[in-house]
Every structure is written in C-alpha cells, then in structure tokens.
Amino acid sequence: MDNFAILYENLLKFSWQDIVMILLGCLLIFLAIKKEMEPSLLLPMGLGTILVNIPGSTALIGPIAELYEAGIANELFPLLLFIGIGAMIDFGPLLSNPKLMLFGAAAQFGIFFTLSMASIFFPEAKDAASIAIIGAADGPTSIAVANTLGSNYVGAITVAAYSYMALVPVIQPPVIKALTTKKERMIRMPYEQKSVSKTTRIMFPIIITVVASAIVPDATALIGFLMFGNLIRECGVLDSLSDTAQNVLANLITIFLGISVAFNMVADKFLRVDTLLIMGLGLIAFIVDTAGGVLFAKLINVFSKKKINPMIGAAGISAFPMSGRIVHKMGLAEDPQNHLLMHSIGVNVSGQIASVIAGGIILSMFGG
C-alpha cells in the first residue's frame, strides 16, 4: 500500500493558498488569450505562476530561480528589452515638434503623487517608491526600479503595471472626458510635416543619453539601452540588427521576463492585503498620470494663442503606442476630420523617455 503513497502524498501538501495562486495563473492565461491583454507577458507569467505554486515544484528552486537571478535580480532582462523597444520607436513626430516633450514630463505626475499616497500605507520608502513607479506605465521600468530598490512586492507591482497597461483603453477615456469639454476635444491640430535630417535622427538618441544621464545618473542604464536600440534603428547601416532587436530579441526576452517574474508570484509573497492596496494605488497612478497630462495641456492653452487639443496630454503616460492611438480615436469620435495621431504619438514617445527619466529620479531618491 505504501507504494501507492507516491500517487497522493504530494496532493495532500496543497494548501488553499497554492490553489488560489494556481487559479490566478489560469486567470492570467485566460486574460492573455481570450481578452488579448498584454498576451506576450501575461501568458508566460500565468504559466510561471502555476509552476511555482505546485508544492515541491522543481521549477521554483531550479530554472525559474536561475532565470530570475540571471535576468531580473540584476536588471538584465528589462534593459535588454529596452533595446528592442528603442529599435521600435520612431522619434520623427517628436523631432518635428520637440515641445511635445513637455506633455511627457507632465504626465509623470501620477508617479510622484502615488509615491505620497503609497507612503500612507507602506512604511518603507523602497516599497512606496516601487509602487509609485507603476505610474511609469512601462513594464520594464517598473521591474527594473522595484528590483533595484529591493522591494518586497515585485510580483504584485509587475502584475499591476502590465494589467493597467493593457487596460489603458478602459482607464484613460473616462478620465479624459471628465476633464475636458466637447469643444476642447474638438480642437483641431493640423500637422505640419517638417523634414527631419538623418543627422538629427542619429544625434537625438546620443544627446538624450548624455543629457539625461548627466543630470540623473541612476537613469543611465535605462535610458542608455533604450537609446542604443533607437541608434541601431536610425544609423542606417545596421538594418539587420535593428530587425533582430525589434523582433527576435524583444520576443525572446519577453518570454524569459514573463516566466521569471513568476518567481515572485508565490502565495506567501502575493496573497496579502498589500497586493490589493498595490493594485488600487497602481490604478490611482494611471488616473493621475492621465489627468496630469490633460490639465497641463489646458494650462498651456490659457497662455497660448495656438490652441492644443488637451487630449494629447494624456498620451504622455507612456504605454506606447496604445495611449497615442486611444487619443487619436477619441479625436475622430468627436470630429471625423480631426486627425491627432502624429501629435499623440509624438507625446506618447516623449512619455516613454520621461518615464525612464522618472525611474532614474526615483532610484536617485531612494536607491541610496
């Protein structure tokens, strides 16, 4: 009879917490496949969550732990992913109108507001700061900052960051509508196509790296890898590498990143009231980011003769390129002739830059 024990003895080790986590893993996989919510990340995360919550799992102490140590604990995976993201971004619309970058800066307000909010519930500055960076609306930045600060909540922060990025089409429109009038949403912004020289396109990533890193040295790795990817794209002599960075590298790292983040998705680290708080604070961060961008655009309109459609400010949240597209669609819904895409995408890529700089600032403040 003892020989049959092997069939059931591990089953008896399952706790209700393990089962809840396995169901959560299934939910992530469901959302990834059925709802197409950031499927490239949520699917590997979901399966990883199942793997690490099976009692006696060899995945937790074996390959997933190794991948975590090799790629997340030292920030390598998020940084490598930035090369791919940098190679995907066309800074052309931004270079045509560099002032759009101001909206990217304004839309980081949610990060710092959430830092204050999180300090109400989390005594340790490293945790409050890591939760605040969910407002960067940029998964790799959130993972890199939370890990560097040694937060106890990396798993929950990653889930919140990617979930809300996928929910940007649900979160942003009501906030934008609440803060703008129909008349404001109908403001037309004709796009003046300005030619941007190849030299400018090549110098831009180098200049951003130098300027941002000189003032915020903690952002050097984040901004440097992002701009490295963009330099590969724009230099014109590395098309093959650019293609690899945009596709193969980004996909490969996303697979490893997703499954190794699950290292933090074990029941005793995740099933806490704190996780619900983090999800709530992450939502606040996204809402305040959106509001910050919109209200800043409205403020500019008070002083400017040439009116700006305040909706484009919302695209400064990062979440590239989804946020830019949402603003464009909202513009078309109000007025079918109002094409805001080039402006909103310009603001959106500036949000990507500003969110990385904000991550560096948070590291400077709390990385000590």
Instruction: Rule CB under 8 A: choose which of 117, 143, 156, 231 binds other proteins.
Output: 117
276 binds other proteins (CB under 8 A): no
| Of residues 260, 323, 286, the one with CA closest to residue 163 | 286
Q: Are 75 and 148 in contact (CB under 8 A)?
A: yes
- Our CB check for other proteins shows the closer of 80 and 89 to be 89
- Our CB check for other proteins shows the closer of 166 and 357 to be 357
Q: Are 292 and 106 in contact (CB under 8 A)?
A: yes
99 binds other proteins (CB under 8 A): yes
Q: From the CB of 115, what's the least distance to other proteins, in Å? A: 5
Count of residues that interact with other proteins, criterion CB under 8 A: 44
- Our CB check for other proteins shows the closer of 214 and 237 to be 214
215 binds other proteins (CB under 8 A): yes
**Which H or E run contains 17?**
helix 16-34
120 binds other proteins (CB under 8 A): yes
Handedness of CA 251, 252, 258, 259 (dihedral sign): positive
Instruction: Rule CB under 8 A: choose which of 131, 159, 160, 212 binds other proteins.
Output: 212
Work out the angle at residue 252's Cα, subtended by the Cα atoms of residues 28 and 73, and round it to the nearest 5 degrees: 75
- Per-residue burial over 152-187, b if 16 or more Cβ lie within 10 Å, else e, is bbbbbbbbbbbbbbbbbeebbbebbeebbeeebbeb
Q: How many residues does the chain have?
A: 368
| Of residues 114, 237, 94, 238, the one with CA closest to residue 164 | 114
359 binds other proteins (CB under 8 A): no
- Per-residue burial over 273-295, b if 16 or more Cβ lie within 10 Å, else e, is ebbebbbebbbbbbbbbbbbbbb
- Our CB check for other proteins shows the closer of 21 and 212 to be 212
- Our CB check for other proteins shows the closer of 117 and 311 to be 117
User: What is the rounded CA–CA span in Å between residue 136 and residue 129?
Assistant: 12
Q: From the CB of 354, what's the least distance to other proteins, in Å? A: 6
- Our CB check for other proteins shows the closer of 250 and 294 to be 294
Site string for other proteins, 306-345 (x = CB under 8 A): ----------------------------------------
Instruction: Rule CB under 8 A: choose which of 11, 237, 273, 302 binds other proteins.
Output: 273
255 binds other proteins (CB under 8 A): no
Site string for other proteins, 56-75 (x = CB under 8 A): --------------------
Judged by DSSP in three states, 256 sits in helix
Site for other proteins in 161-200 (CB under 8 A): 195-197, 199-200
358 binds other proteins (CB under 8 A): yes
| Of residues 98, 37, 104, the one with CA closest to residue 316 | 104
217 binds other proteins (CB under 8 A): no
**Residues lying near other proteins in the complex (CB under 8 A):** 95, 98-99, 101-102, 104-105, 108-109, 111-113, 115-117, 119-123, 128, 195-197, 199-200, 203-204, 207-208, 211-212, 215-216, 272-273, 350, 353-354, 357-358, 361-362, 365
